Amino acid sequence: MTRIALIAHDDEKPEMIDFVRTHEDILSGFDLVATGTTGKRIMEETGLDVERKQSGPLGGDTQIGAEVADEALDGIVFLRDPLTAQPHEPDITALLRICDVHDTPMATTRTSAEFLIEGLADE
């Protein structure tokens, strides 16, 4: 089964919830994993079930990165806040890097996220 990770920084969480609601039909066919707070909100505010890792600042991005290194993920939607510094910036950079290493597709905007999930749904 296609497995994807969903991650959103705080300012982007409303966008993530709207994205998930809009594409619930596609996403319900995927195995979903998320960082802690993103996953909690998705489960509370949509009908989807999500495996939750730690919150990002507590290591959630790193746990997702470990799945990328294991080639356990088919893609990542990571709605980043481009205007706010994050205490765990090194973890975020490491996640981007390991996606590059393994050619795991990562979408960081709403539009690219739509291309990503539509592409995976067609596989």
> Binding site for substrate, residues?
9, 13, 35-38, 55-56, 88
- Smallest distance from the beta carbon of 49 to ligand 13P, in angstroms? 16
Name the 3-class secondary structure at 68: helix
61 in active site: yes
- Smallest distance from the beta carbon of 59 to ligand 13P, in angstroms? 10
Query: CA-to-CA distance for 54 and 86, rounded, in angstroms?
Result: 16
CA distances in angstroms from 50 to 54, 73, 79, 89, 90, listed in the order given = 13, 14, 17, 24, 25
Judge whether 33 and 5 are in contact, CB under 8 Å: yes
Catalytic site residue from 18, 25, 61, 103 = 61
- Smallest distance from the beta carbon of 86 to ligand 13P, in angstroms? 6
**Position 108 contacts ligand 13P (CB under 6 A):** no
Q: Which of the residues are catalytic?
A: 61
